[in-house]
């Protein structure tokens, strides 16, 4: 679905699967979060325009069903 969004250059989902186990790294306090989505655009202006497209509105609505 993200591939259809004009102006979106890259989309990556990073799944959080475990806490750090090194003693010098504090445990994460992230609540019920299980992943982070990253999006890339050519500019801030391009990012602002993306949300105005029908493709992006469908993508955001779909995301709201599980995010």
Longest dimension (CA), the chain: 48
Q: What span, in angstroms and rounded, lies between the C-alpha atoms of 16 and 40?
A: 20
What is the DSSP annotation of 2-54?
GGGSTT--EEEEEE-------TTSPPP--TT--EEEEEE-SSHHHHHHHTTSH
Tell me the pTM.
Answer: 0.65
pLDDT digits (tens, 9 = 90+) for 8-63: 999 998 888 777 778 887 877 777 778 888 999 999 999 999 889 999 999 989 88
């Amino acid at each position: 679905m993200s591939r259809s969004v004009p102006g979106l250059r890259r989309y990556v989902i990073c799944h959080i699967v475990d806490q750090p186990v090194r003693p010098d790294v504090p445990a994460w306090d992230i609540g019920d979060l299980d992943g982070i989505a990253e999006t890339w655009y050519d500019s801030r202006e391009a990012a602002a325009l993306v949300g105005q497209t029908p493709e992006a509105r469908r993508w955001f609505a779909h995301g709201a069903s599980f995010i």
